[in-house]
Every structure is written in C-alpha cells, then in structure tokens.
A = this chain, B = another copy of it.
Amino acid sequence: MPALTPYEQLEQEFRRLHAFKGTLAILRWDAAVTMPRGSADVRGEQLAALEMECHALLTSPRLTRLLERAEANRQGLRDWQLANLREMRRERDHAIGTPQSLVSRLARAAARAEAMWREARDKNDFSVLAPHLDEVVKLTRNRAVMLGQHLGLDPYDALADAYTPGLRSSEIGQMFTTLSRRLPDLVAEALELQGGGPASPITARVPAWKQRHLAVDVMKALGFPFDRGRFDQADRAFTEGVPGDIRVTSCFDPADPFSGLLGALHETGQALYDLGLPPEWRDQPVGQDRGMALEESQSMLLEMIIGRSRPFVTYLRPLFEKHYGVGGPEWSEQNIYRRLNSVSRGPSRMDADELTYQAHIIVRYELEQRLLSGELPVKDLPGAWNELMDQRLGVCPASDNDGCLQDVHWALGAFGYFPSYGIGAVIAAQLWETLRESVEGIDEQVAAGSFGAILGWLRDNVHALGAKLDVPGLVEHATGRPLSASPYLRYLERKYLSEW
C-alpha cells in the first residue's frame, strides 16, 4: 500500500472527527428525548470527554503540520478537495483560535449563567442574571478579540462567522438597515389591511397523537426519510443527528392545532437539507451543511414561505378534516390562511409572526454588538432593550421576561448567532424567487401535495453543494444574484399587501 499523502491523511482524521461529532449528536438527541431524567451528570461527562477529543484532534500539532504540507502541495487535488482543504483549515482555525483555558472558563461561566437565567426567569428579574451575564460577556469579548486576530476578522465577525460563514457584519448590517427602513411601514399597512378582514378564532382542541399523525403524513409527502431518520415528540422542536440518521422532533399542544405542525415543517426543512448533502463527501468538512443561516433558510422556506402559503393550505385542509375530524367555516381555506398569517406586534420573538420577526432579530443584533464592544454595560440591558423594541416595533415589554430575559443565547455565550435567523429568512426568500422562476406550476404542485420539483431544485442548487462555497457565494451560485434583502421585501409586500 503506497503511503497516504498529507491530504489523504487529513481526510482520515476528519472522517474520525465526523464520527465523533455524529456520536455527540446522538448523545444530545438522547439527552433531550430518551435519557432518564436523573442521568444528566453521567451524560455531561460523556459529552465533555468527546468534545475534548474533538478539540484535541482539531488542534493537534500533527493536524496543523498535515494542513501545512497539504496546502503547500495542492496539485492533483480536485475542486471539491481544494474546497475541503479550505474547510479543514477553517475548522482548525476556529478551534485553535480560542485557548483551551478560555474555552474552559467560558464553559463554566456559561453553565452558571444558564442556571441563573432560569432563576431570573422564575423571578422575572434581570438583575439575578446580570453579574453572571457580565462575566460571560467579558470572556466572550476576550474570545472574540483573540479569535478575530487568528482569523483576520473583526471581533464580532469572528464570532458570527461560525453561523454565517463568509458573511460579514458590514453586509449583515446593510441588509438589516434596508429592512429597518421598510418594515415598520409594511407592518403598519398590513395591520390596517388585516384589520378589515381578520381571521376568526379556531377553537378546536386536537390531541397530540392526532396532530402527530397529520405531521407524519405531511413529512412523508415532503420526502422525510423515515428509514434513515426519526420523528419524535419532545418539549421543543429541534433537529439532531447526522445525514443518514437524522432526528426531528416537534412539540404538540392540544390547544393549538397548528404550532406543532409548523414546528415539524421547520425541522423537516433542515432534515431535507441534510438529506441532500453530497453523499461522496458526507464524512468530510466540505460535505456538511453551510451553517446555521443556510439551515434556517431551508427551515423558513418550508415553514413560512411554503407552509403558510395559500396552495399549501389547499393541500392541508382535507388533511385537517381527515385527521382532526374538523369542519365548519373557521376551517375554510381562507380562514386557515389568515390564521397562519395574522400579523401582530408583540414582545416575544418565539411567538412573532413572519412580518414582525425581523424586528426582534435586528434589536438583538444591535444590542449584542454594543454589549460586546463594551458600549452598553450589561446592567443597562433591560432599558436599552425596551427602548429599542419600542423604536423598531412600537412594542414596550411589560417585564424582563417579556424583554431581555426571553432568550438563553447570550447567557450561553452565543453572540453572533441571532443574525443567522434573520439572514436565513432573507436567503429563503431569494431562493424562493429564483425557484419560482425556474420551476413551472409551483402553486399547483404545492396544492396537490407534490413537492418533488421544489425539493429537486433545492437539492441541485443548494443542498448538493455542501460547504463548497461560503454563504454569499452559495446564494449567488444558486440564484445568479448577490445576496440581498430585496427579494425578501418583494415577497413580504406581495404576500401581506396583495394576498390577504
């Protein structure tokens, strides 16, 4: 057997890393779905040992040497392999950019802050969390600076790059500015229009198992691979696992006949993305999804754009009849559609509709930059939050729980994460615009429950690329145009001003 080249040895190492990461995903899924309640301590040790192993693998001197040798000798490598090499380097640089001691301190501080976040929520009092969040912010600031030096990026960009690879805050900020200019008026116009023909309340109580059966029917129509994936109920909707063993959950509330289904659609979007990744690179960095923003785009496309469209409601209505045994005027297509797309200004991101959602994201994006730079002291967060919510959405949260205690992300040290939600929606709309130009008769297909052509387009133009391009590159490749907020605004305007 001839000796392996440095590049081939790297593939071996990253294959191992992929197996470890897949194992971590199964451990996390198990912890959320099947693990006995009292076993968290044992599981914590297993997760920590395996995460440390991944980190050691990525930061080992051997890996660095192999990377240097492979990079110095690229001839003979194909396109995909060159992209793979770049992604290997990227993963290694992200891992090595934070010293192990800081990783540990941050992990401890985040664990404390998460616990205090729960306590603060119980007491509806931000001051309980404040000193602990302050510690996390300080450590994350250090981390951002060090990582930024390592990656050649501004501190904030260095953090955000983990979720939106290749997209910089200059571009993110520009898109959010464009949105902030148009959205307040659009929300006002939509609210006025909707006020003229509001949806009737839908009062049916539907047992979780019936909702689950309907969701499974829909997931089957969408092509969710039940032989290579699972669908379970949990206390929240999420996707875990690896391509080839993808695990989706949703949470069904008998008092709400829609939220569990929409959660399932959201997660199915991500699962189908994973399913469409390039199989020949499945255990290599280049064969992975292109990060949170892209995952979110696939989820938003399915849950928001397709899942709340009129044709989809046409497809769904007979399924509601069949599975829920419901009927009557409030279950008309018109009323279901309006129920799913009612706009209202509220303080909660998780409960926000499609149209007001971006304001919640933009508020967080602005605040997390000010927290990280030190311009906004942590203790002043509640006031700044409420002020900005009022300014951006005309909403003033009544309490900390309705305000800056909503999300756990910052307590966990996840700064730079929120934009990926908003950018995901922007990307989804841009993909959708091109998709509609490329595939004929989409509305009829959706109404008939036929999703093959849509998914085929997504697979060919998005999923099958894996991580070959960065986020802006991938979007431009798929749509022929640079990433921009315009298609998203066009989509929202058509939907909320012309289609009510």
Contact = CB atoms under 8 A, between A and B. Distances in A.
B42 A242 contact: yes
Nearest to A50: B23
Contact of A42 (B22, B39, B41, B226): B22
A46 B22 contact: yes
A230 interface: yes
Interface in A30-62: 30, 34-39, 41-43, 45-46, 48-50, 52-53
B16 A23 contact: no
A412 to B, nearest CB: 22
A228 interface: yes
Contacts of A228: 36, 38-39
A230 B23 CA distance: 20
A382 to B, nearest CB: 37
Contacts of A53: 53
Interface of A: 15-16, 18-20, 22-23, 26-27, 30, 34-39, 41-43, 45-46, 48-50, 52-53, 225-230, 242-245, 283
Given A244-B39, A245-B39, A46 B34 contact: no
- Which applies to chain A's interface (DSSP): helix, strand, loop or mixed? helix
A36 B244 CA distance: 9
A19 B45 contact: yes
Contacts of A48: 19
A46 B30 contact: no
Given A26-B26, A36-B228, A53-B53, 11 more contacts: A16-B49, A19-B49, A20-B49, A22-B45, A23-B23, A30-B34, A34-B34, A36-B230, A37-B227, A42-B243, A42-B244
Nearest to A231: B36
Nearest to A243: B42
Nearest to A20: B49
Nearest to A228: B38
Contacts of A49: 15-16, 19-20, 23
A48 B39 CA distance: 25
11 contacts: A15-B45, A18-B45, A20-B46, A23-B27, A23-B50, A36-B226, A36-B227, A36-B228, A36-B245, A42-B243, A42-B244
What are the 10 tightest A-B residue pairs by CB atom distance, in nearest-first order? A19-B49, A39-B245, A42-B244, A38-B227, A38-B228, A19-B46, A23-B46, A42-B245, A19-B45, A16-B49
A227 B45 CA distance: 18
Contacts of A242: 42
A76 B20 CA distance: 38
A137 to B, nearest CB: 28
A52 B12 CA distance: 13
A34 B245 contact: no
Nearest to A17: B49
Contacts of A42: 22, 242-245
Contacts of A36: 225-230, 245
A34 B23 CA distance: 14
